[in-house]
Amino acid sequence: MAGAPSSKPATGKSGLIKFNPGDELFKQNDPADCLYIIQKGQIRLFIPKGRGFVDLAILRVGEVIGEMAYFDEKASRRSCSAAAIVTTEVIRISFSAFDKTMKGLNPWFKTIINTLADRLRKTNDKVRELESNSVGYASAGKVSNYKFFHTTDVLKILSTFYLVAKTHGEEVDGKIQIHLNKIKYYLYDIYNVQEIKYEELIELMVREHYVELKTDEDNLPKVLRINDVEGIRSILVFLNSERLKEEDKKTRVSRKCERLLGKIIQQVRASGKAADRVPVDLSSILDEFKEAKIAISDQDLTDAVAVGLCEDIVVGEYNKLKTTVNYKKLLKVFPALRLQNAIDATNKEKSGEKGYS
């Protein structure tokens, strides 16, 4: 995430700074000597936890970052970390320059500002205390039992997508689109879902090609276009049924198995076969991965066999590996399996876990 900003004024001076996606404005416990006003882009605030992190908020154009350290004499260091999500421009205002402005204000106005800042600081302290109490720690400093996306969060967000799309969606080019302000109204104002939660889930679904983000009349990326509304409903049904199962009976496949299944779907579609059970040339798929130098083998199909998506692998003519896929079942659950794995990967990243399995 860390990276040098693309342009930066001399230390201690005010000025315009441009940050690339992932660049950090500051880290938790860095000395605080300035505040920032966002001119363009988005900035995320987060707290490192072991090898992971806990997201706090996303700030946008016009919002201010780092001002509390000026008003709180005890806050000489940053209480959290801040990083650009997209290409971002901020105005840096040094505390020395800001102090000159404050000294020019009427005393009563300064009193109001200081009172508001003190109340906000106390509120932030309470929030941080609650947040700290909600996160446990395992060995080696890793976060224990912390999940950014809980299943209930995902179900609530996806069901809102589906219901709002069906109620308020507009069909454009064969796809249903809705403005993010409408989704925000239901998720944030009515259901009280954290903004950071649904924004990150939308970002994840854009990356995984479940939805698209288009610009609105103000040229802002705030129009959500859902590729398959009924597909969202199918994912909802799958995730909800999985939530109710015992752990050893859940339908789970590894990320490598997921990639194998994706290639199997491509092969069956190319063959034009659409039966319930379809034979698959597994060797040709494994050869593709080998040529691309991707470490995936026939052993990675074990999860799919265990949950009934494929039959056991057999050796055919010329030592070619083959299997039979339960094609219609695979088509039905594959989008949900992909999303489930993407969510799991995000949770692992935020809790400090690594690895691709």
- For residues 158 and 220, membership in a common domain is answered with yes
SS3 string, 91-119, reads EEEEHHHHHHHHHCCCHHHHHHHHHHHHH
In a domain, 10, yes or no: no
The answer to whether residues 50 and 146 touch, using CB atoms and an 8 Å cutoff, is no
How many domains does the chain divide into? 3
Structural domain for 279, as ranges: 251-351
In a domain, 2, yes or no: no
Q: How confident is the model at residue 261 (pLDDT cuts 50, 70, 90)?
A: very high
- Cα distance between residue 145 and residue 249, in whole Å: 21
State the Cα–Cα distance between residues 25 and 82, nearest whole angstrom.
5
Question: At residue 180, what is the residue type?
Answer: L
Instruction: Name the pLDDT band for 45 (thresholds 50, 70, 90).
Output: confident
Nearest of 85, 22, 18, 90 to residue 221 by alpha carbon:
85
Which residue would you say has higher pLDDT here, 182 or 128?
182
Residues 223 and 341 in one domain: no
- CATH number for the domain spanning 168: value is 1.10.10.10
Residue 214: strand pairing partners:
223
Residue appearing with tokens 């659409």: 274
Asked whether residue 220 is assigned to any structural domain, the reply reads: yes
pLDDT digits (tens, 9 = 90+) for 205-235: 999 999 999 988 888 888 999 989 999 999 9
Pick the closest to residue 311 from 298, 327, 324, 297 (CA basis): 324
| Cα dihedral: 198, 199, 204, 207 (round 10) | 140
Q: Let me know whether 23 and 40 are in one domain.
A: yes
Average pLDDT of the residues in 9-28: 79
pLDDT given at position 328: 93
- Give the pLDDT confidence score for residue 249 in this predicted structure: 87
Q: Binning pLDDT at 50, 70 and 90, where does residue 66 land?
A: confident
240 shares its domain with 274: no
Q: Of the given ranges (102-106, 198-202, 303-307), which has the lowest mean pLDDT?
A: 102-106
Return the DSSP state at 301.
G
Q: Are residues 135 and 195 in the same domain?
A: no
**What CATH number is attached to the domain comprising 67?**
2.60.120.10
Residue 39, amino acid: Q
> Do 139 and 179 share a domain, yes or no?
no
Does 216 lie in the same domain as 168?
yes
What is the chain's Cα-based Rg? 25
DSSP state of 227: S
User: Does 134 share its domain with 19?
Assistant: yes
The reply to whether 137 and 158 lie within a common domain is no
DSSP state of 321: E
Compute the mean pLDDT over every residue in the chain, rounded to the nearest whole number.
83
Task: State whether 130 and 221 are in the same domain.
Answer: no
Residue where a domain terminates, one of 126, 143, 160: 143
State the pLDDT at residue 121: 62
From 184, 218, 247, the end of a domain falls on 247
Q: Which two tokens stand for residue 126?
A: 């309470």
